[in-house]
Structure 1
Amino acid sequence: MSNRDLEHYQKMIDGDKESLEAIYDKYEKLLYSFVIKLSSDPSLAEEVLQEVFIKLWTHKAKYDETKGKFSSWIVTITRYTAIDIIRAKKNESVSLEEETDMPEQQGDSVEDLVEWKEKSSEVRKAIDQLSDDQQKIVHLFYFQGCSQSKIAEECDLPLGTVKGRLRLALKHLKKHISTAEGGIRDA
Structure 2
Amino acid sequence: MEALAPPSQEELIRLVASGDEAAFEILYDEVAPRVFGLVRRVVRDPAQSQEVTQEVFLDIWEQASRFDPDKGKAMSWILVIAHRKAVDKVRASQASTDRDLRQGIKEFQESYEDVADTVEGKFEAERVKQALKSLTPAQQEAISLAYYGGYTHQEVAELLKVPVGTIKTRIRDGMIRMRDRLGVA
Structure having the higher helix fraction is: 2
CA distance 1:92–1:79, change in 2 (3 Å): farther
- When residues 15 and 33 of structure 1 are mapped into structure 2, their CA distance, relative to the original with a 3 A threshold, is same
1:60 and 1:10, CA in 2 relative to 1: closer, same or farther beyond 3 A? Answer: closer
- Report percent identity of matched pairs: 25
Is 2:132 the counterpart of 1:132?
no
Q: Deviations over 1:112-158 (max 9, x none)?
A: xxxxxxxxxxxxxxxxxxx4355446645234989xxxxxxxxxxxx
Write the letter of the residue equivalent to 1:24.
Y
Inter-partner Cα distance in structure 2 for 1:134 and 1:61: 39
Given the two structures, how large is their TM-score scaled by the length of structure 1? 0.51
1:50 and 2:54 correspond: yes
Gaps of 5+ in 2: 1-5, 99-137, 165-185
CA distance in 2, matches of 1:60, 1:19: 12
Deviations 1:20-50 (A, max 9, x none): 1111101111111222222221111111111
1:66 alignment partner, SS class: coil
Larger Rg belongs to? 2
Given that 1:137 and 1:166 are in contact with CA atoms closer than 8 Å, whether structure 2 keeps it comes out as no
List structure 1 runs of 4+ shifted beyond 6 angstroms: none
Do 2:52 and 2:86's aligned partners in 1 also have CA atoms closer than 8 Å?
yes
Q: Deviations over 1:89-122 (max 9, x none)?
A: 33669xxxxxxxxxxxxxxxxxxxxxxxxxxxxx
Q: Relative to structure 1, is the Cα distance of residues 67 and 40 closer, same or farther in structure 2, using a 3 angstrom cutoff?
A: same
2:10 matches 1:6? yes
Task: Kindly indicate whether residue 32 of structure 2 is the aligned counterpart of residue 32 of structure 1.
Answer: no
The CA deviation at 1:3 is: 5.8
Aligned equivalents of 2:14, 2:31: Cα separation in 1: 16
RMSD of aligned alpha carbons:
3.6
Give the alignment's TM-score, normalised by structure 2. Answer: 0.51
1:141 and 2:141 correspond:
no
Q: Distance in 2 between the 1:3 and 1:19 partners?
A: 9
| 3-state secondary structure, aligned to 1:67 | coil
Name the amino acid aligned to 1:141. Y
**SS state of the match for residue 152, structure 2?**
helix
> Distance in 1 between the 2:27 and 2:142 partners?
36
State the shift of 1:86 in Å: 2.8
Q: How does 1:1-187 map to 2 (within 5 A)?
A: 4-59=8-63, 62-89=66-93, 90=95, 131-133=138-140, 135-136=142-143, 139=146, 140-143=150-153, 167=159, 169-170=160-161, 172-173=162-163
Q: Decide whether aligned partners of structure 1 residues 13 and 60 sit closer, same or farther in structure 2, where only a CA change above 3 A counts.
A: closer
- Distance in 1, matches of 2:158 and 2:79, equals 22
Paired with 1:66 and 1:31, the residues of 2 have a C-alpha distance of 22
Q: Which runs of 5+ in 1 are unaligned?
A: 94-130, 147-164, 175-187
